[in-house]
């Protein structure tokens, strides 16, 4: 009996131990899968004034009247109203709004759903498409006798702003919450008398061709085939139709909402059902759990908040919207540049990216063995040859740092210890200059827009120096190279991380501060969570809204942020980088890199394969620096890093190569050829490797890394191919063609005199070139027809022409 009891107790003890072990395993699994909030502050400290001198920006916001001073977005859709004259459009999507500079003094609404196409490049594609903007409806007040408006509120992530129109000396005002994706345009009237007009002819209102109409809902039929619905949310109003306009019979304090009538009766019933609640802004939530990332839009609402919001989605939202979140409807429209929009019903949108990248510092596979001896031999040559890490402008300097850091990675991978040590030492010497602000274009902290800017563009007439960095152009491109370089350095030598950390973290805070608790930078200056990607254009007015050109350099930024988090042990920073990367990758593959299966972009345009310069209101198969196909495609390829294979997929690359690149690559000279062949390695690593042994190199690429990149591509096509290329030793470099006046024009402010100190230090000069009207590398720098050129022989054709002798 006693033995039986002992045995039973032993079994019970074993069972308890097993249960405890299972529980501990379960707890460990749960802890490993804990959701990480990636919107926590990187820091809440003000940037160190001993390193970042405070400045007041030369471009001040106009017509801004916020309740309190706060960080301001520079690269979101609402900068047009607070820059210059304020007459450029607001691309709210799907609506395009304009604040009228003349009578009727109010806001015009455009929703044409029409694209104008550019000239045919060939039978399959056109050069550009542009959304047609017309003043379909104009909303004003009879009290308004002049244009008076101001921006009175903005939300944190850059989804919305609030515009107020008013009349001096009167109580009359109209307040507009303008929100990306809004299904209706909302006007909060305060003691103002409605005045509604159009550039078209009004055929009828609720079936009447003239006279007074009273109610809460008005259908306005126009002679262009459109019908617009006007809703009055707070009781009946009376409108009188006369002289092709609708006039209120008295001043009202009410909310009017306008939307374009749908062709489907059920869709129109949905418009009626959801008109009573309207969006005023959005707050963002984002978290990462293992390989899954979730981002959530929490829409802020007014009106009847017992109702559910109806709001328009882009294609990339719909691809990842969770089933328990918002629900799709039959309410449809077309965006200005991103294809069809679909109305979804829901106050909260939850979107999941279920396969976040796990890419590390090097390719996920070893180089093919037959190539390794040549890679190592070239690596030794490249590191011994060195590279100039003198800090000039931030773009080309960043590329120089980055390409050298990639050599350090290879030296570590191949266990070339002495080369690794020398490479790291040189990188650290380069960073020491930046970390102490010893460079001539040292970063300043701008107390106007709350950000870091290069000193190069702050003097008068220098706004485009450093590619407009001082005016918030391209920071994610520029900082991405430095962030990734710092991540590699921290990975290779953790003892240096403490020196780098504050400087790198401040670059990330400037470009994409994740937290509203960090009040020294706006939340996500560059990354637009609604659009799914970044906008590179900063404090410049634009008739077509913000734009982005180099999606590959945006990817390089997100990848760099993820690697910085990985190298420094910050799960939040790594998760943030990987989530932004996933969202951007989806948007880029939906809108920017267009394979034959693309159903979102205009069918007349997808033959270009890449969008070129992508604006909020159009896309143009071009670049800012020239029309050559190698520029247009190459700027969407560089730099080639391990993450590239997740964005540029073989199907797309094959189509792009077959239809365009293969036809131009034989005639390409200079460093662009190396970019095109590095990309070709995705399809044919053998041919690409062979070409990359000799082709001229891009200034951001070393030959050793190019060979490593090609050798690590997963395809097994190792044939030598049949394509030919120009021997780089046979290429002759010529100076700029003489056009007359190279160094004496334009009169009064010659191009040569406008060369910035940073450009001069980089071995560059500038001259007048009338042919810049046709585009070209370095063209229209600082001002029209001023062209950057290479004075230093080391940078000729990388990518600039040799300067004329007079420069």
Residue 573 above 50 pLDDT? Answer: yes
Span 783-800, average pLDDT:
76
How far is it, in rounded angstroms, from Cα 416 to Cα 377? 11
The pLDDT score that the predictor gives to residue 3 is 42
Span 338-358, average pLDDT:
98
The structure tokens listed for 40 are 């926590």
Question: Exposed, middle or buried by CB within 10 Å (0-12, 13-18, 19+), for 438?
Answer: exposed
The pLDDT score that the predictor gives to residue 480 is 98
The pLDDT score that the predictor gives to residue 402 is 98
The pLDDT score that the predictor gives to residue 754 is 84
The pLDDT score that the predictor gives to residue 206 is 98
Among candidate residues 144, 180, 585, 509, the one with its CA nearest the CA of residue 357: 585
Residue listed under structure tokens 């001096």 = 168
Q: Tell me the per-residue pLDDT of 707-755, one tens digit each, with 9 for 90 and over.
A: 999 999 998 777 543 333 333 233 333 455 556 788 988 877 788 888 8
How far is it, in rounded angstroms, from Cα 73 to Cα 55? 17
Span 269-293, average pLDDT:
98
Among candidate residues 164, 53, 114, the one with its CA nearest the CA of residue 445: 53
Region at 316 (left for phi over 0; alpha for psi -120 to 50; beta for the rest):
alpha
Asked whether the beta carbons of 770 and 784 are under 8 A apart, the reply is: no
Look over the chain and give the mean of its residue pLDDT values, rounded to a whole number.
92
The structure tokens listed for 265 are 């009766």
Give Dmax over CA atoms of the chain in angstroms.
114
Span 611-633, average pLDDT:
97
Of residues 148 and 30, more confidently modeled: 148
H helix or E strand, kind and range, residue 364: none
Other CB atoms within 10 A of residue 182 CB: 23
Asked whether the beta carbons of 284 and 296 are under 8 A apart, the reply is: yes
Q: Tell me the per-residue pLDDT of 128-169, one tens digit each, with 9 for 90 and over.
A: 999 999 999 999 999 999 999 999 999 999 999 999 999 999
The pLDDT score that the predictor gives to residue 755 is 83
Among candidate residues 588, 627, 626, the one with its CA nearest the CA of residue 610: 588
Read off the pLDDT band of 483 (50, 70, 90): very high
For 657-776, strand residue ranges (E) read 764-768
Residue 27 above 50 pLDDT? Answer: no
Alpha carbon 153 to its chain centroid, in Å, reads: 23
What is the percent of the chain where pLDDT is above 70?
91
Contacts of 262 (CB under 8 A, 6+ apart): 268, 271, 330, 331, 332
Residue listed under structure tokens 């507009």 = 176
Contacts of 654 (CB under 8 A, 6+ apart): 683
Read off the pLDDT band of 31 (50, 70, 90): very low
Q: Is 572 helix (H, G, I), strand (E, B) or coil?
A: helix
Residue 5 above 80 pLDDT? Answer: no
The pLDDT score that the predictor gives to residue 797 is 62
Q: Which residues are catalytic?
A: 474, 549, 553
The pLDDT score that the predictor gives to residue 299 is 98
The structure tokens listed for 621 are 């198969």
The pLDDT score that the predictor gives to residue 22 is 53
Q: pTM surpassing 0.75?
A: yes
The helices-and-strands tally (H runs, E runs) of the chain is 18, 37
Contacts of 549 (CB under 8 A, 6+ apart): 536, 612, 613, 614, 623, 624, 635
Bond prior to 746 in cis (omega within 30° of 0)? yes
Range in 159-173, 422-436, 648-662, 756-770 with the lowest mean pLDDT = 756-770
Q: Tell me the per-residue pLDDT of 200-251, one tens digit each, with 9 for 90 and over.
A: 999 999 999 999 999 999 999 999 999 999 999 999 999 999 999 999 999 9
Strand partners for 300 = 281
Compute and round to an integer the Cα radius of gyration of the chain. 29
Other CB atoms within 10 A of residue 387 CB: 18
The pLDDT score that the predictor gives to residue 514 is 98
């Amino acid at each position: 009996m006693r033995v039986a009891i002992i045995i039973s107790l032993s079994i019970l003890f074993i069972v308890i131990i097993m249960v405890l072990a299972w529980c501990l395993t379960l707890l460990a699994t749960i802890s490993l899968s804990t959701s990480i909030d990636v919107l926590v502050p990187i820091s809440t400290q003000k940037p160190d004034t001993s390193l970042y001198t405070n400045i007041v920006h030369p471009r001040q916001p106009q017509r801004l009247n916020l309740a309190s001073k706060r960080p301001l977005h520079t690269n979101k859709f609402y900068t047009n109203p607070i820059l210059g004259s304020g007459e450029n459009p607001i691309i709210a999507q799907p609506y395009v709004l304009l604040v009228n500079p003349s009578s009727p003094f109010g806001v015009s609404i455009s929703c044409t759903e029409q694209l104008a196409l550019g000239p045919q490049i060939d039978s399959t594609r056109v050069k550009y498409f542009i959304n047609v903007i017309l003043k379909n409806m104009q909303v004003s007040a009879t009290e308004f006798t002049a244009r008076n408006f101001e921006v009175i509120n903005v939300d944190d992530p850059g989804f919305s702003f609030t515009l107020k129109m008013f009349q001096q000396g009167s109580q009359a005002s109209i307040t507009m919450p303008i929100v990306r994706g809004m299904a209706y345009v909302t006007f909060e009237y305060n003691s103002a008398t409605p005045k509604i007009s159009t550039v078209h002819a009004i055929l009828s209102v609720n079936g009447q061709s003239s006279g007074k109409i009273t109610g809460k809902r008005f259908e306005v039929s126009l002679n262009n085939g459109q019908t617009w619905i006007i809703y009055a949310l707070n009781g009946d109003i009376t409108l009188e139709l006369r002289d092709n306009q609708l006039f209120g019979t008295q001043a009202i304090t009410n909310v009017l909402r306008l939307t374009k009538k749908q062709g489907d009766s059920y869709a129109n019933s949905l418009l009626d059902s959801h008109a009573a609640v309207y969006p005023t802004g959005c707050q963002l939530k984002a978290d990462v759990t293992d390989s899954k990332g979730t981002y959530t839009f929490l829409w802020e609402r007014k009106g009847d908040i017992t109702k559910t919001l109806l709001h328009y989605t882009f294609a990339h939202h719909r691809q990842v919207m969770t089933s328990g979140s918002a629900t799709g409807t039959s309410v449809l429209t077309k965006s200005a540049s991103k294809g069809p929009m679909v109305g979804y019903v829901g106050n909260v949108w939850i979107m999941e990216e279920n396969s976040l990248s796990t890419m590390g510092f090097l390719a996920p596979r070893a180089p093919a063995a037959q190539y390794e001896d040549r890679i190592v031999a070239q690596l030794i040559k490249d590191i011994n040859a060195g590279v100039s890490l003198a800090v000039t402008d931030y773009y080309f300097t960043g590329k120089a740092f980055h390409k050298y850091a990639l050599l350090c990675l290879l030296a570590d991978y191949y266990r070339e210890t002495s080369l690794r040590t020398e490479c790291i030492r040189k990188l650290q010497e380069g960073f020491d200059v930046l970390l102490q602000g010893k460079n001539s274009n040292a970063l300043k902290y701008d107390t106007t827009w709350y950000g870091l800017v290069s000193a190069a563009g702050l003097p008068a007439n220098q706004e485009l120096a450093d590619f407009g960095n001082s005016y918030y152009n391209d920071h994610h491109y520029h900082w991405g190279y430095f962030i990734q370089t710092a991540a590699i350095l921290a990975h290779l030598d953790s003892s240096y991380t403490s020196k780098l950390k504050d400087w790198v973290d401040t670059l990330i805070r400037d470009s994409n501060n994740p937290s509203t608790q960090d009040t020294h930078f706006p939340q996500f200056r560059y990354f637009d969570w609604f659009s799914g990607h970044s906008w590179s254009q900063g404090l410049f007015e634009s008739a077509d809204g913000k734009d982005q050109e180099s999606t590959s350099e945006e990817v390089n930024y997100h990848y760099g942020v993820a690697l910085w988090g990985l190298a420094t042990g910050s799960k939040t920073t790594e998760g943030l980088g990987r989530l932004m990367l996933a969202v951007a990758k989806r948007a880029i593959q939906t809108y920017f890199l267009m394979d034959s299966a693309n159903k979102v972009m205009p069918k007349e345009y997808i033959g270009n394969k890449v969008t070129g310069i992508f604006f909020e209101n159009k896309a143009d198969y071009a670049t800012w620096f020239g029309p050559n196909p190698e520029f247009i495609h190459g700027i969407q390829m560089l730099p080639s890093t391990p993450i590239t294979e997740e964005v540029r997929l073989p199907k797309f690359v094959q189509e792009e190569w077959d239809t365009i690149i293969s036809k131009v690559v034989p005639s390409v000279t200079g460093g662009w050829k190396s970019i095109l062949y590095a990309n070709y390695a995705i399809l044919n690593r053998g041919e690409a490797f062979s070409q990359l042994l000799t082709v001229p190199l891009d200034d951001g690429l070393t030959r050793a890394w190019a060979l490593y990149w090609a050798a690590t591509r997963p395809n097994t096509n190792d044939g030598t191919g049949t394509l030919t290329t120009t021997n780089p030793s046979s290429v002759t470099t010529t100076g700029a063609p003489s056009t007359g006046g190279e160094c004496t024009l334009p009169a009064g402010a010659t191009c040569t005199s406008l060369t910035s100190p940073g450009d001069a230090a980089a071995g560059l000069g500038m001259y007048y070139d009338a042919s810049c009207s046709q585009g070209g590398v370095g063209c229209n720098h600082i001002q029209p027809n001023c062209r950057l050129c290479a004075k230093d022989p080391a940078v000729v054709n990388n990518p600039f022409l040799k300067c004329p002798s007079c420069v």
